[in-house]
Structure formats: structure tokens, C-alpha cells
Amino acid sequence: MASGSSVRAISPSATRTGVAAGLLWWSYFDRVQPAVEHRADELEESERGRFVRDVYTYAHAPIVAGVILIAVGFEDAALHPTEPLSMAFRAMIFGGISLFVVGVTACTLRAFGVVPVERIGLLVGAAVVLLAAGPLDAVWLIVLIDVVTLLALAAEHYRIEVTPGVSAVHHRHD
């Protein structure tokens, strides 16, 4: 009986953390990973080794660390969905999102010389949500993170796919 009510209490929160995980997956594997892979294929053999080292080693270290920190914060949210998330766990989630965004930004900067401003917007939105979330139940905090992430990804998709001639990125000039 107690385990059944525990499952019912955790399920909505687990669903929301699953949505967040799916959004993170989408944010990387739908656009960044194929674009970086395509860029590697375009490079001359002499440049490809350094590029692959930079992108898949240096830039991916913060992505992986970010995913781990986000998972720790989300686990606490899933275990205590109707309680406010402590500042320590909110800081872990923000740190994780920050590392993830830094890694993705490093990938796109190295590959294309651009900074994905929508990802920076995600970082700012997440900071606002996590700082203002003090009394908010953990489940609603995750919903807000999901919404901010979805909005950032939709804006990026719109910029790249719908209005490709209008650039909202900062280009690196070598």
C-alpha cells in the first residue's frame, strides 16, 4: 500500500524530469551532433584530427558533466515532487544547465564560428526560474525548466529552419 502511493507521488515528477531529459536529448542530437559530424566530414584530413579532439573531447567534457549534475538535481525533484527544491539542488541543476550550454556553445563555436544565442537565453531563463523558485514545489520547478528549454529550442529552430537568412548569432571573425 505504501509503495503504491509512493509510485503515484513520484510518477508526475518522473514524467516531467523525463520530458526535461528528452528536451536535452533533442537539443543535442537533433541539431548539434549531426551538424558537428557533417562539419568534420567537410574538413581536410589534416584539420579533422584537431577538430575532432576539440569538439569530442574538450567540448564534450562539460556536456557530460552537465548532464550528470542535472540528473542529480532532477532525481531529488522526482523523489520529493511536492516539496520545494533546496538551493543546493537548484544550484546543481543550474550548474548542469550551464555546463551543458557551455559545451554545446563550444561545439558550435569551434565548428561554425557562431554562438547560439538561444542557448544563452536558455541559461538566463533557467537562472531566473531557479532563483525565483524558492517556495515552488519541485515538480513545478521542473515544468518551468521544461518550458524555458522548449522556448529556447523553438526559437533556435525558427531562426535556423524558418528564417535561415536572418542571423541571430554572433560570428567569430578570424
pTM above 0.75, yes or no: yes
Give the whole-angstrom CA distance, residue 138 versus residue 79. Answer: 9
What does pLDDT average to over the chain?
85
CA proximity to 24, closest of 151, 127, 120, 150? 150
Give the whole-angstrom CA distance, residue 103 versus residue 17. Answer: 21
Backbone angles phi, psi at 37, to 5 degrees: -65, -45
Residues spanned by the domain of 73: 2-171
Give the whole-angstrom CA distance, residue 148 versus residue 82. Answer: 21
Question: Is 47:173 a contact under the CB 8 Å cutoff?
Answer: no
**Does the structure show a pLDDT above 80 at 44?**
yes
Q: What angle do CA 133, 87, 105 make, to 5 degrees?
A: 80
At residue 12 the predicted structure's pLDDT band, cuts being 50, 70 and 90, is low
Grid coordinates representing 43? 574538413
Question: Total domain count for the chain?
Answer: 1
